[in-house]
Amino acid sequence: MFCTSCGNEVESHARFCSKCGKEISSAASSAANGAEPAAKTKHDMGMHVNILGWTFMGFGGFIGLAGIAILFAGQVVPRIPIPWPPDFPMMLLHFAGWITGIVGLTTIAIAAGIAGAGVGLIQYRSWARVLAAVMSVFIFFKFPIGTAIAIYAFWVLYSDEGREYYKSQAASTMA
């Protein structure tokens, strides 16, 4: 038999859970004896939204640092005094610096969106759910960590339980 509050396994004759101290109901003990099916355990969606928000902020910060490194490398590498061959097209270095600048700025913009979605999720803003879904599509292709975060985000934000919880919390923060 399991506690309906925390999920801890308790003995069939116990009146209270040894982990959380909650009283074990007679319905739960009859369910353990096979009289009726056990109730479906609910997830602590508040904890999951909080974890997801902080994960988005951390991953956004990490991606932002990578974008800064790309931007920095693209501007520094062409200026390093390297003895290039005389027939090397120097305009290629400037073009590569320009392209890495665009890639670095785009990466920083995506990182800002990811981190912004995390902040919005923690504050239960209604727009944050949509932004988190859009950013999850972007990070889905950053295998394996981004893929895991994106799948977790879709589960937390779009499962029936998560969707209802988030909508109720977002509505209470707006009032």
pLDDT of residue 175: 58
pLDDT, greater one: 113 or 42 = 113
Distances in Å between the Cα of 61 and the Cα atoms of 110, 137, 169 are 10, 17, 26
pLDDT of residue 16: 82
* Helices vs strands, H then E, count in the chain: 6, 0
Tens of pLDDT, residues 26-57: 554 444 555 444 555 678 899 999 999 999 99
Dist CA 140 CA 154 (whole Å): 11
Amino acid at 92: L
Whether a cis peptide bond, with omega within 30° of 0, leads into 144 is yes
**Quick one: pLDDT at residue 26?**
56
- Tens digits of residue pLDDT in 49-91: 999 999 999 999 999 999 999 999 988 887 888 888 888 888 8
Q: State the pTM of this model.
A: 0.71
Q: What is the percentage of the chain residues whose pLDDT exceeds 90?
A: 56
3 state SS for 23-83: ECCHHHHHHHCCCCCCCCCCCCHHHHHHHHHHHHHHHHHHHHHHHHHHHHHHHHHHHCCCC
Q: How far apart are CA 75 and CA 69, in angstroms?
A: 10
Q: Which two tokens stand for residue 159?
A: 């499962």
Mean pLDDT of the chain: 86
Q: Which pLDDT score is estimated for 48?
A: 95
Distance CA 57, CA 60 (A): 5
Q: Tell me how crowded residue 27 is: count the other CB atoms within 10 A of its CB.
A: 13
132 pLDDT exceeds 50?
Answer: yes
Amino acid at 73: A
